[in-house]
Structures are given as C-alpha cells and as structure tokens.
A = this chain, B = another copy of it.
Amino acid sequence: MRPSGRQPDQMREVEIIRDYTCHAEGSVLVRFGNTKVICTASVEESVPRFLKGKGQGWITAEYGMLPRATGTRNGREAARGKQGGRTLEIQRLIARSLRAAVDLKKLGENTIYIDCDVIQADGGTRTASITGGCVALVDALTHLLNKGSVKQDPLKRLIASVSVGIYKGTPVLDLDYPEDSKAETDMNVIMTQHGGLVEVQGTAEGETFSREEMDAMMDLADKGIKALFQEQQKALGW
C-alpha cells in the first residue's frame, strides 16, 4: 500500500554517523532512508544578551537546505536575502526540542549552536534533524565536560523525533516524500528517552482527523521513536 512497500508501522533504514566533518565539537550525518542531514553542534563561550549574567546556557538551532537537495532546485535563501517561514518554523522547533535534553543551569554561560543542513531531502527532514542534532549535541556536551568547561554533565536525556500520518486512510510511520505530499494528515512527534512528550504538531491537509486517528498515530510514533533511541545509543556506543 505504501509507495515504498513498507508496512504501516515500518520505519525507513536509519543511519547515524558521528564525526562526519572535522571542525565542529559535534558533527553527525543522519540518514532516514533517502533523507540526509548534516548536523553540527558548535560551542560558543557566551550567551545571548537576554541571558547575560544569569548563570545558565542556551541551545539554538539553524536549518538550511542545499538548493538541490530536492527534486527541483530551490532558490538559495542567502541569495534571496531572507529565510522563509518554513525554515524559521523548523529551526525554532529544533532548538525548542533540543533544549528539553539539557539542564541549562549545568551548561553554564555557554551557547550551543545546532546547524542542520539537508543535503538530500525525501520527507522528514525536521525529524531527522532533531534526532541527529541530539547526537551532535551530546558530543558537544562531552567536549565541554572533557575540557573542564562544565563540571557536571548537562545532558538530561536523549530526544528523538519521527513523523506519522494518515496515508490513504491508514495511519503510517515515518513518511517519505511521496507519502508526505499526499497524506491527509501529517504529525510530528518529539519525545524524550523517558517517554515524555516534548512537542506534538499535527496538521490536516484537506481532510480533518479524529481523536481515534490521533491516538493511532501517537502509538506509531511511540514505537518509531523507541527505535530511534536505540540508533542514537548505538551510534554513541552506549
């Protein structure tokens, strides 16, 4: 039934490669099927103005897509002179989600920038970005610990994310682009390692969805995210 031949509750193959580039404190290539995102975590020993002197740190994120990450070329945002609404929305979501992974007090007056750059897109770029970005974040926190810049590990828990949706009337897990572009409903779920919900964003396209469909999607998301935590832990060697 699914264009990819997957079962409704089957995720795409996931791959998380650490140390993908050499300069960043954390650098991960995350792959959800054909979706590939480079996630880097960069440490800056200062905080934004609104946090100066408050003895806590900050996590922020930026998201981009190479112009030809997609089937037809998208104009470069740097050339157009501004980031679009979709970009801003996604990077706000990534940052908000990853802040839930960290005890900002323990981070001290440090800022971690998570940069997620999609080099190949096939649906689910924001969920892959959060999942991969969290691993890059862990590496950056370890770097700070090893360097002695922070005394106690600021990591509270891993965060991961997956999309679910209603495709041709059936709840499905981890939509790829052919599904995403035709799904009746698309929902992104972000959870912590301990099962708490961090963010839920469900949107109907054309058709509305019911409480029962929402429950079914939440069940699928729960299953998918558990698998993602295993991939993150495997990559981290935990």
Contacts and interface: CB of A to CB of B under 8 A. Distances in A.
A38 B119 contact: yes
B208 A218 contact: no
Given A92-B85, A208-B196, A78 B100 contact: no
Interface in A165-192: 187, 191-192
Contact of A40 (B36, B67, B84): B67
A198 interface: yes
Nearest to A62: B76
Number of this chain's copies in the complex:
6
A86 B91 CA distance: 11
A21 B70 CA distance: 10
Contacts of A120: 21-23
B208 A198 contact: yes
Interface residues of A, number: 65
A214 interface: yes
A227 interface: no
A2 interface: no
A120 B38 CA distance: 11
Max chain B CB contacts within 10 Å: which of A34, A78, A191?
A78
A168 B40 CA distance: 35
The 7 closest A-B pairs by CB, nearest first: A196-B208, A85-B88, A77-B78, A40-B68, A42-B73, A24-B68, A78-B78
